[in-house]
Amino acid sequence: MFSERTYQARIIQEDYRSAATSKYVQPDEPTKVKLLFQAVKKKAASYLVIFLDTSSIHGLNHLVAPGRHPLEVLLWLALVILSVFGSVYLSSTTWERYQSSPTVVSMDRDMFAWNTTFPCVTICPHRRIDEKKLELYVRNSPVPDKTALKKFIMQLSNSTYKNFENLSDYDPIPPTEYLPTLLNLTASFGPTLTIGASGILLKVQPTITEMGLCYAINSKVAEYNSPSYREANRWDLIKHQNETFFVHPLDGEVFAQVINLSTAYDVYIHGPLEVPDISTKFQHSALDFYMKMYVTALTVYTSPEAAKLSVAQRRCRFLNENPLKHNSVYTYTMCRMECRIRLCMKYCGCIPYFYRRIGDENICNVAGMRCLSQYHDELYKLEVDKDKKKINCGCFPICDDVNYVIQSYVLQEWFLGTNLQWGIVTYPRMRYRRDIIFGFTDVLVAVGSMAGLFLGCSVLSFMEIVYFLSLRLFFYTKDALTQKT
């Protein structure tokens, strides 16, 4: 265990001698308490001396070595304190690095070793209301001013953060009925979808966005904002039977077409695990035009090792790591929407009709949406608030993301209708990988190195501390009590 030293032996012998002489003294009660306190204090000091004298931590034995001048003791005490400070300071710096930036983004360049996600598109048609449905609704409505009602519904169907101020003062519908009314009056959307690959079946998914009702293709998250999902008050994760549509450089050119749209539209191109919002860039096509877009992909994915880190460490989130209140899954854009909702409640005490309402949140009426129009820049850009303070939404990117860059864009008149074609011609020659560069093992090595450099410590040195605070202390106390009796 530990070799007995002369100084330790002398301390122990003095303890035994004092314990033996104390048996024949019969002091009064206050003196007993005082003597007991002194005995415990003396035992504790003796035990501390034993630890310092036998510890493998460098410098501690000089503090209790016999014959040392007080100035020598102070010098060694100062050196030990400085060494402990240096070790703790550098170790804490290492720990902070592990907590804040343990990952690195590297590049993979073997383009034939991976598949590329086929781009998802979200189409937002400009003709949102079916004229026949609207005429029937207005005719059967108890509202006396039919013309004003019809105008209000048309304005409401196209209202976004960009034009809330254009809404008329007339407000004939309760705010809670805004979205159900618009959904019931929505024009049918049934274009033909074709894919330039065999065995692939994609569906057109209605989804409610900040731009109103749109339609997503090849999306895995659009369904969480679909009218049917919201109407059923669902919050569960959806298990997709079909995997994401991937393409490979050996597949050559792969494209998809949406034919016979029969309306002007805006199209947003994004990854299958993302959705567009009001600030997302889009391409516009008028009626009877043929739009052709060809893109290349820029993929960022996270290694399994990095995925085990906390969100703060890897600085990204997966779909199921969801802190959002208004959505069942997490995406970067949905996080920004959540940020807008908080600002809407802060500025005007209500949220626009196209968001999912929870709790006692109020849906904005016309006055509320006009109130929001006063904060257009704050809500649109999410940079600074009305007090010119930076808006911190706390949004991390998704861990497995795909961004697309348009390489070729053609918009031409087409006498056969309004069509959209998009796809991949040039495949990416690299992709980004988020991986661990500084793991927990590196933390242990760095902390151990600091402790060894400043104090000469090892794992056994820390085990000594545990030993002296547990098993050794128990037997020391037991022996002291036995001697006393």
Q: How far is CA 444 from CA 281, 447, 466, in A?
A: 46, 5, 18
Tokens for 363, please give them. Answer: 């849906």
Tokens for 141, please give them. Answer: 């409505």
Model-level pTM?
Answer: 0.80
Would you list the DSSP string of 102-152?
Answer: -EEEEEE--GGGS-EEPPEEEEEES--B-HHHHHHHHHH---S-HHHHHHH
Tokens for 40, please give them. Answer: 């415990």
Report CA dihedral (77, 80, 82, 88) to the nearest 10 degrees: -140
Collect all residues with Cβ–Cβ distance below 8 Å to 122 and sequence separation of at least 6: 207, 209, 214, 215, 216, 217, 219, 222, 267, 268, 270, 275, 276
Q: CA-CA distance, 235 to 354, in Å (whole number)? A: 17
Q: CA-CA distance, 200 to 251, in Å (whole number)? A: 13
DSSP state of 477: H
Q: What is the pLDDT along the chain (485 residues), one digit of tens a residue?
A: 344 445 555 555 555 555 455 444 455 667 777 777 787 788 888 888 888 888 888 888 888 888 888 898 899 999 999 999 999 999 999 999 888 889 888 888 888 888 888 999 999 999 999 999 999 999 999 988 889 999 999 999 999 999 999 898 888 999 999 999 999 999 999 888 888 776 677 889 999 999 999 999 999 999 999 999 999 999 999 886 556 788 888 888 888 999 989 899 999 999 999 999 999 999 999 999 999 999 999 999 999 999 999 998 999 999 999 999 999 999 999 999 999 999 999 999 999 999 999 988 999 999 999 999 999 899 999 988 877 889 999 999 999 999 999 999 999 998 888 999 999 988 888 899 999 988 888 888 888 889 888 888 888 888 888 888 888 888 888 887 787 66
